[in-house]
């Protein structure tokens, strides 16, 4: 084999090696990003659990330490009605929310999580046994969707939607509620 043929083969081999190295680096980078997202999701699941457990005990201070809202936060309450926006959540209203719940216990079941570098969506079932607004303690299972958005280094809650339909209702009952 001539020197030029050997040089050509060596160059081709080096190119293949570089191509393989670049692919390996890309796969390694992607695996690292996925691990970061997985850790973020796990952290947000835990933070949500701690915050809502505190809220069911009426501890709004601990709830607010664990959850911060985006400036465009929306809340779709399990009791229905128009969505609440972040600007409506005054200090007085948040304190009243803390008084709304008392002596509660809380469990959280993760149904599904979706995550990216800047957004995490959690679909969960919340199971609480709590006194609500002076009513005797009872079970209040909720289907909940939480949307977190990264703002700088901080993850903030952008949206919460909850409904009490964990056990399901008949078509007739749903139609009645819709009316």
What is the DSSP code string of 76-114? E-TT-SSPEEGGG--HHHHHHHHHHEEEEEEEEEEEEEE
pTM over 0.95: no
How many domains, the chain? 1
Nearest to 46 by CA among 61, 67, 64, 32: 67
pLDDT over 70 at 13, yes or no: no
Distance CA 106, CA 60 (A): 15
Q: What CATH number does residue 142 fall under?
A: 3.10.450.50
Task: Give the domain range for residue 169.
Answer: 3-178
What is the structure's pLDDT at 9? 47
- What is the pLDDT confidence band of residue 25, given thresholds at 50, 70 and 90? low
């Amino acid at each position: 084999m001539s020197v030029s043929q050997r040089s050509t083969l060596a160059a081709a081999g080096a190119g293949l090696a570089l191509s393989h190295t670049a692919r390996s680096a890309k796969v390694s980078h992607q695996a690292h990003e996925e691990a970061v997202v997985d850790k973020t999701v796990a952290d947000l699941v835990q933070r949500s659990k701690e915050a809502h457990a505190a809220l069911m005990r009426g501890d709004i201070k601990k709830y607010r330490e664990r959850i911060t809202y985006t400036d465009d936060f929306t809340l779709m309450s399990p009791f229905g009605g128009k969505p609440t926006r972040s600007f409506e959540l005054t200090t007085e209203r948040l304190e009243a929310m803390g008084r709304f719940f008392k002596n509660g216990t809380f469990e959280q079941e993760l149904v599904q999580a979706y995550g990216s570098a800047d957004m995490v969506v959690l679909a969960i079932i919340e199971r609480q046994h709590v006194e609500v607004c002076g009513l005797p303690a009872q079970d209040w299972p909720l289907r909940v969707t939480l949307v977190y958005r990264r703002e700088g280094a901080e993850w903030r809650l952008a949206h919460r939607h909850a409904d009490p339909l964990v056990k399901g209702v008949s078509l007739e009952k749903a139609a009645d509620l819709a009316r």
